[in-house]
Structures are given as structure tokens and as C-alpha cells.
């Protein structure tokens, strides 16, 4: 099931159901079997999933106070939220290094799946990075080593799944998913090491310099 909810102000007539199913398909969710033990199910299918739309027209008072008839730099605060956090000088985007690494790992995971390089990967996945820091006398810290990298991802059945069945629209040579051991090796080489090699630390060194056999 996918639920879309909120309030908007627009004169356009949108087919929300079509938009949602298109996005679900683009992400890669294209098969569902109502059996938790099934190795063929990706957990969701754009063709059969239920789409609940709860989109309402935004209140004229809110729309008028926020954006209607106003310069883009002169907006009110019709919708308010609570934000908290901090800026860090560890990265160019001012986010903690662990957060940036985890985000980049997730992006690479998606790229190698969609490119077909690791076709046996499925859409659902998550990443986590833990870094050990060294504290200086003045209280500042710098990364000492990457303690742990965790990638938890959905994948096709090892040594059995076939690419023509796993990847909708694939018409190339038939391939069989690698073993679990080989999957882990490919994820380390094509996702973890590739990503860390592309991330630069404040020292100018690539983040891969913090990664070792202990991770």
C-alpha cells in the first residue's frame, strides 16, 4: 500500500494514482507475492499495490499567507515545523561525516542496481556508518578510523535467481545470481570501497584511507 496525503494549492488536474505507480515502478518495486516465505516477491508491485490518495485543497488563508501573490523571497510561515540539529565542518555540505558516508553509500547501492552492474539487488536497503574519533586537547575531534560499515539490502535468491525473471524488460544473455559470499564481496568492492574512494576528508585524503580489515 502507498498513501499520499497533504494539502496543496494548484490549478492542475493530476492523476495521483498514475504518478504514484510510476514512481514505485521507477524505484524498482515490480513484484509482490502474498507469502512471506516467497523469494520472488520484492514486497510491492506498482501494478497491484493499493494507492490511497488523501490530497486536499489548501486553506485559502494559509495559501494567501504563504505564497499566493507574493515575491518568492517574501513568504509567510503558514506551515510551521520544529527543526533541530547542528552544522559540522567535517564535510563540504556541513553534515556529520557518518551521515554523508551513509547517504553516499545508499546512492551508490541504487546506482549499481539500476545500471545492472549488481542486477540481483532489490530496492529495499539501508546503510549505517560508525566512525571512531580522536579528540585533541582543544576539544576538537578528527576521524581516526571507520569502525563499522553496515549495508542491509534486499536481494534475489543467491545462486538460483535468473536475471530474465528478476529484471523486467531484460532481454540479454541469461545470468544466475551469485552466491551469498560473492554478493558480499561485490557489495564491498562496488559499493563500499568505490564510495569511500570518492569521498574526500578535510585532510585531502580519500575516506578509504580510514577503512581497513577491521570493518
* CATH for 61: 3.30.300.10
pLDDT tens per residue across span 90-148 = 888 888 999 999 999 999 999 999 999 999 999 999 999 999 999 999 988 889 999 99
Q: Which of 63-67, 79-83, 178-182, 201-205 has the lowest mean pLDDT?
A: 63-67
Could you say which DSSP state residue 128 is in?
E
Q: For residue 128, what is its C-alpha cell?
A: 549505517
pLDDT tens per residue across span 36-92 = 878 889 999 999 999 999 998 877 665 555 555 556 555 555 555 667 677 888 888
User: Is 140 or 188 the better-scoring residue by pLDDT?
Assistant: 188
Return the bridge partners of 127, or none.
Answer: 151
Return the bridge partners of 155, or none.
Answer: 121
Domain boundary among 66, 82, 112: 66
Task: Say what the pTM is.
Answer: 0.78
Split into its structural domains, the chain has a count of 2
Query: What does each C-alpha distance from 105 to 54, 110, 141, 194, 196 come to in angstroms?
Result: 33, 9, 23, 9, 8
- 50: containing domain: 2-66
Residues 103 and 170 in one domain: yes
Amino acid at each position: 500500500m502507498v498513501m499520499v496525503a497533504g494539502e496543496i494549492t494548484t490549478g492542475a488536474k493530476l492523476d495521483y494514482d498514475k504518478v504514484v505507480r510510476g514512481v514505485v515502478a521507477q524505484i524498482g518495486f515490480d513484484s509482490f507475492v502474498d507469502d512471506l516465505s516467497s523469494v520472488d516477491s520484492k514486497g510491492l508491485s506498482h501494478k497491484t499495490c493499493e494507492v490511497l490518495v488523501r490530497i486536499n485543497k489548501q486553506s485559502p488563508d494559509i495559501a494567501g499567507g504563504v505564497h499566493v501573490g507574493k515575491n518568492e523571497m517574501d513568504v509567510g510561515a503558514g506551515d510551521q515545523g520544529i527543526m533541530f540539529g547542528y552544522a559540522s565542518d567535517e564535510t563540504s555540505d556541513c553534515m556529520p561525516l557518518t551521515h554523508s558516508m551513509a547517504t553516499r553509500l545508499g546512492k551508490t547501492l541504487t546506482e549499481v542496481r539500476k545500471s545492472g552492474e549488481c542486477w540481483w539487488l532489490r530496492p529495499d536497503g539501508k546503510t549505517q556508518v560508525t566512525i571512531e574519533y580522536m579528540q585533541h586537547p582543544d576539544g576538537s575531534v578528527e576521524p581516526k578510523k571507520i569502525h563499522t560499515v553496515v549495508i542491509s539490502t534486499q536481494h534475489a535468491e543467491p545462486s538460483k535467481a535468473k536475471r530474465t525473471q528478476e529484471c523486467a524488460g531484460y532481454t540479454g544473455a541469461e545470468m544466475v545470481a551469485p552466491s551469498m559470499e560473492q554478493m558480499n564481496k561485490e557489495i564491498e568492492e562496488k559499493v563500499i570501497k568505490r564510495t569511500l574512494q570518492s569521498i574526500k576528508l578535510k585532510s585531502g585524503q580519500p575516506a578509504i584511507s580510514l577503512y581497513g580489515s577491521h570493518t
